[in-house]
């Protein structure tokens, strides 16, 4: 993570048009990427829960969605702080921003549903379906940036990465660091969730 | 530079707030486990645990 920060602030060259404000990109894009991975993870765990009915998958789905919502919230806030000096506004109803906001709302809704479900398997199944359906919005966010005249710059194309080498390496450092942090966080959150279920079961067993 | 500072500050504050929440949950769980083992040592059923 320190290397990623050094890459963002020291190694990456200054962008000509936006100046230093563009350095938000080195945390904004990795957070968005890891957020998508987290929602994909929540969707996959939801599918496995529906297939097996095992509580562990339900907890894995909730853990991934929780971290996904955290990262997506940070994406929206950092995006806003980037947009203000560059576009002159905190928020605009751009297709990519709207589809991303919908994605955020879907998974916030999922977490509310999941929290209300408790031990009820029927509600947990409903929450799993919600996590799966919610993931459909991820490709819409991705596609809206490319095909719907979105304001956000398209960095990765099929032909090249539209960045100078120092910028590309700094971005790669950020992607690796935040992906590793996601793995650490989701493992810790999953372990905690599983332990909570075991302790609750022991407590219920005793009356 | 102000926007850049706040963007990175918000990310780290958000991350640490989440970690703090996880630590709090884990401490609560530890207390529940302690209460359960205490009750099982005393031979009493571990009721009333789990908040």
Is this model's pTM higher than 0.90 or not? no
DSSP assignment of chain B, as one string?
Answer: -HHHHHHHHHHHHHHHHHHHHHHHHHHHHHHHHHHHHHHHHHT---TT---
Contact between B11 and A202 using a beta-carbon 8 Å cutoff: no
Residues of B in contact with A28 (CB under 8 A): 7
Tell whether B47 is covered by a domain.
no
Whether B12 and chain A come into contact, CB under 8 Å, resolves to no
Instruction: List residues bridging with A156 in a β-sheet.
Output: A161
Contacts of B3 in chain A (CB under 8 A): 21, 24, 81-82, 84-85
Please tell me if residue A180 touches chain B, with a CB cutoff of 8 Å: no
Residues of A in contact with B46 (CB under 8 A): 202-203, 205-207
pLDDT of residue A116: 79
Closest partner CB to A73 (pick from B14, B29, B36): B14
d(CA A7, CA A168): 10
Cβ within 8 Å of residue A60, ≥6 positions away: A41, A45, A48, A190, A193
Walking along chain A (207 residues) 10 residues at a time, the average pLDDT comes out as 74 74 87 94 94 91 95 94 87 88 92 80 85 88 73 59 78 90 95 89 76
Among A20, A67, A204, the residue with its CB nearest the CB of B4 is A20
Tokens of A197: 């279920």
ipTM greater than 0.95: no
Nearest to A61 by CA among A178, A182, A193: A193
CA distance A138 to chain B (A): 22
Residue B45 lies in a domain: no
- Judging contacts by C-beta atoms under 8 Å, the chain B residues touching residue A192 are 22, 25-26, 29
Q: Is residue B32 part of a domain?
A: yes
Number of domains in chain B: 1
Residuewise pLDDT in 10s, chain B (51 residues): 788 888 888 999 999 999 999 999 999 999 988 888 888 777 765 555 544
Q: According to the model, what pLDDT value does residue A180 have?
A: 94
For helices A95-117 and A25-52, give the axis angle rounded to 10 degrees.
Answer: 40
Q: Which domain holds residue B24?
A: 1-38
CA distance A33 to A75: 10
pLDDT, residue A153, reads: 63
């Amino acid at each position: 993570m320190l290397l990623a920060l050094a890459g963002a602030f020291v190694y990456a060259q200054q962008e000509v048009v936006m100046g230093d404000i563009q350095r938000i990109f080195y945390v904004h894009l990795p957070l968005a990427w890891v957020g998508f991975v987290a929602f994909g993870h929540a969707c996959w765990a939801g599918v496995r829960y529906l297939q097996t009915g095992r509580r562990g998958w339900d907890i894995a789905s909730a853990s991934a969605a929780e971290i996904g919502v955290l990262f997506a919230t940070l994406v929206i806030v950092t995006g806003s702080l980037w947009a203000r000096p560059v576009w002159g506004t905190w928020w605009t109803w751009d297709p990519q921003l709207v589809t991303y906001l919908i994605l955020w709302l879907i998974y916030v809704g999922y977490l509310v549903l999941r929290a209300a479900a408790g031990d009820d398997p029927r509600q947990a199944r409903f929450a799993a379906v919600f996590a799966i359906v919610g993931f459909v919005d991820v490709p819409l966010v991705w596609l809206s940036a490319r095909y719907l005249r979105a304001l956000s710059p398209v960095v990765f194309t099929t032909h090249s990465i539209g960045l100078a080498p120092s910028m590309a390496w700094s971005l790669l450092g950020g992607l690796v660091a935040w992906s590793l942090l996601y793995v650490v966080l989701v493992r810790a959150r999953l372990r905690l969730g599983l332990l909570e279920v075991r302790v609750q079961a022991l407590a219920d067993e005793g009356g | 530079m102000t926007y850049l500072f706040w963007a990175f500050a918000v990310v780290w504050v958000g991350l640490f707030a989440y970690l703090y929440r996880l630590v709090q949950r884990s401490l609560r769980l530890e207390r529940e486990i302690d209460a359960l083992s205490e009750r099982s040592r005393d031979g009493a059923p571990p009721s009333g645990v789990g908040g």
